[in-house]
Amino acid sequence: MTDLSSFAIKICGLSTPETLEAAMAGGADMIGLNFHPKSPRFVTLERAGELAAMARGKTEIVVLIVDWDERRAVELAEALKPDWLQLHGRETPDEVAALRRATGLPVMKALGIAEAADLAAVGAYHSVADRILLDAKPPKDAAFPGGHGRPFDWSLLAGLDPAQRFMLSGGLDPANVAQAIGIARPAGVDVSSGVESAPGVKDPARIAEFIAAARKAAAAGQESSSA
């Protein structure tokens, strides 16, 4: 629904005040709090509340949920008052629309990409979600969704309708984010494991490096497109 008017950088799976501070100091536009219990980045409502209080008014707060019903989503939205709801499960377009209505929050829908055929779903979700996040499909035996630190073939996105703006995730890190932005031309990027020293353990230095590299690449891309 909503086109991204400026490039957005999201640091997801934050769980400590120190790493949240690093994300905000680096200039992250969005921070993600993960409510999926099987993820190493899971945070309790109590911890999320502490982090949200630190972030409120300084960066946009995104809560990540997986296949929740409307009641649970509404309870979380009322308790935490985030800026965004990120749906990272198998939610259908109708379910995305229903969660958006029930919570009153803008919704970011993650879609797993492994091959060109996976892009067919983008159109259906583009009409009901405020933002689309294209992520790498998880391995078949994975315990939780997401890219698991592995990128997909970004050149697949060349066939996507340019009007279907999206954020990019999956296997991004400080070393490859500039290349990813150059190839995929996303409206934003989202990173989690790529700025960690161990699963679920964010590295403040890598967070700063990622944000700086992404910002520089996005600015270079905007300059070349307007030249």
E strand segments, the chain: 8-11, 30-34, 60-65, 84-87, 107-113, 131-136, 167-168, 188-191, 196-198, 201-202
Helix 17-26, helix 45-55: angle, nearest 10 = 30
Cα–Cα dist 157/168, whole Å:
10
Catalytic site includes residue 12:
yes
Beta bridge partners of 108: 86, 131
Q: Per the residue annotation, which of 3, 94, 135, 203 is the catalytic one?
A: 135
Kindly state the greatest CA–CA separation across the chain. 49
Query: What are the two backbone dihedrals, phi and then psi, of residue 129, each rounded to the nearest 5 degrees?
Result: -105, 150
Options 12, 130, 173, 190, the catalytic residue = 12
How many CB atoms lie under 10 A from the CB of residue 208?
18
Q: Is 135 assigned a catalytic role? A: yes
Tell me the two tokens of residue 180. 């990813």
Active site members: 12, 135
